[in-house]
Structure 1
Amino acid sequence: MELLSFSNQESHEVLDPGADHGAGRSTGASQLKELQQSRRVQPRYEFLRVADWDFFTAGTGIKSGFLENIGERGCLFRTAEPIEHRRWIRMIVREPVENLLMVLVGRIVRREDKMESWDDRTVTLYRHGVEFIQPLNPVLLERIKRDHTTCVVCGDSHASIPDLTDADAHYCVLCHLRRACHNLMVHDELDEA
C-alpha cells in the first residue's frame, strides 16, 4: 500500500472556497478513498479447500481450516480458533492428486464470529479476512478461474451447489432454491392426485 505524504506548505495552506485550485489536485482523504475502492475491485472466486495453517512465531503446531472466496490479493479463511488481528499466518493448501497446491502467507485484516458446520464433525466459529503479502501466482489464479463454475440456469459466477444427476452442472443458491421449491410443488401435486 502506498504511503500518502503531504508537504508542510500544503498542510498550512488556506484555500479560497470559490477559487479553482486545480482539477488534478486531490486531498489525502480522496486518495485514501481511491486506494480503498481499488482494493475491492478485484474479482473473487469460490474456492473451498481444506487448508492447514500455523503462525510464524509461535510453536503451537499446524491447525486446520477452510480457505474460500479467493482472489489475487486475499481470501476468506474459516477456523475453529480465533486469530488475532494483524497476525501473520502461513496457509498450506493440498490436493489429493498433486499433494501440494500452494503455500500462502498473509495477515489477518478482519474477523467475524460466525458458526458454520461443514460436515458431521467439523464446525468453524470464525471467518477471517486474509490479505496476502504477495499477489497470488498468475498461473494458480488462471487455474482457479478455469475451474470456477457458473450456474447452468442463470449464468451467475457463484455457482457452488453441484447437481447430483449431472457432474458438470452447478447451481447458484437462488436457482437451487427455485428448483427445490418447484420439485416440492410437483411432488405435492402428485400426492394429491
Structure 2
Amino acid sequence: MQHESGRIAPSPRSVSVPIKLTINGESHEFDLPPFVTLLDLLRNHLKLSGTKKGCDHGQCGACTVLIDGVRMNSCLKLAVSVQNAEITTIEGLGTPENMHPMQKAFVEHDAYQCGYCTPGQICSAVGMLMEGHAHSREDIRELMSGNLCRCGAYTNIADAIEQVMGTDAAKVWKEAAE
C-alpha cells in the first residue's frame, strides 16, 4: 500500500501494539498485532497449553479461563482487550501437588475421559460457583451448558461440582468475587 507521500505504508498485519497482562499472578509485556486472541497468546507466546483450542468460535468452552474471576471464552477475547485484568488459566488454579478443590473433585469423581475439555470445564465451574447462581444440580447443568464434553462425562462433572458447591471454599470464592 503506497502512501500519498510516496512512502510505502506498513500493512495493518505488521502493526504491533504494546500489551501488558497479568496471567496467573505474573506480569507479562508483549508487542503483538492487535488481532491476537487471548487464547493464542496463552498457547503460542506463553506456552500455557492447558487452555485448549476447540472450536475457535466460542461454542465449546474448551478455552474457558477466568478474567477477573469471571469465566470467559479466551478464543473470543482479543489480548489487547483484557489489559489490566487478572487472568487465571488452569495452570494458575493449582498444581498436581497442590490442587484446587475443583481439580481434586474432578479427579475424585472421574469427571473426565479424554481430558481435552477438562481445563475449560474446571475453570468454568470455578467461575460459576464464584457467580453464586448455582443452587441445584439443574442450575449446574444449565450454567455449565456452554462447556461441551464430547465423551459425555456430564454426570461425573456435575457430581464433582456438587461436591465443591457445598464446601466452605465455594463460599469463600463467592465472597471474594463480590
User: Which protein is richer in helix relative to its size?
Assistant: 2
TM-score, with normalisation over the residues of structure 1? 0.22
User: Which protein is richer in strand relative to its size?
Assistant: 1
TM-score, with normalisation over the residues of structure 2? 0.23
Please say which structure displays the higher CA radius of gyration: 1
Query: Quick one: higher RCO (CA 8 Å, sep 6+), 1 or 2?
Result: 2
